[in-house]
Amino acid sequence: GSGVLSVAVYPHVIGEVETIAKIKEGFSIARYGDGEFGAMKGNGYTREPPSQALAKELRKVITSPAKQTLIGIPTMDKRGDKYDNWIRHTRYIDHLQTGTVYYSSLISRPDCGSWMRTLEYVELLQSIWIGKKVAVIGSEGIKNKMLKAVQLTNPDAHNIDCKWYGAYSEIDRLEKDALKSGCEMILLSCGVTATCLANRLSSKVQAVDIGSIGGFILGMLSGKHV
Q: Is the dihedral of CA 10, 16, 216, 210 positive or negative?
A: negative
State which H helix or E strand residue 158 sits in.
strand 158-161
182 to 132, 148, 160, 174: CA distances (angstroms)? 11, 20, 12, 13
3-state secondary structure of 53: helix
pTM: 0.93
Q: What is the pLDDT along the chain (226 residues), one digit of tens a residue?
A: 456 555 467 889 999 999 999 999 999 999 999 899 989 999 988 999 999 999 999 999 999 999 999 999 999 888 888 888 777 766 677 788 888 999 999 999 999 999 999 999 999 999 999 999 999 999 988 789 999 999 999 999 999 999 999 999 999 999 999 999 999 999 999 999 999 999 999 999 999 999 999 999 999 999 865 4
* Cα separation, 29 vs 13, whole angstroms: 14
- CA dist 64 and 54 (Å) reads 15
Strand partners, 13: 102
Three-state SS at 121: helix
How far, in Å, CA of 46 to CA of 180, rounded?
Answer: 29
Give yes or no for a contact between 42 and 51, defined as CB atoms under 8 angstroms apart.
yes
Give 44's DSSP letter.
-
Rounded to 5 degrees, what are φ and ψ at 160?
-110, 115
Q: DSSP character for 97?
A: B
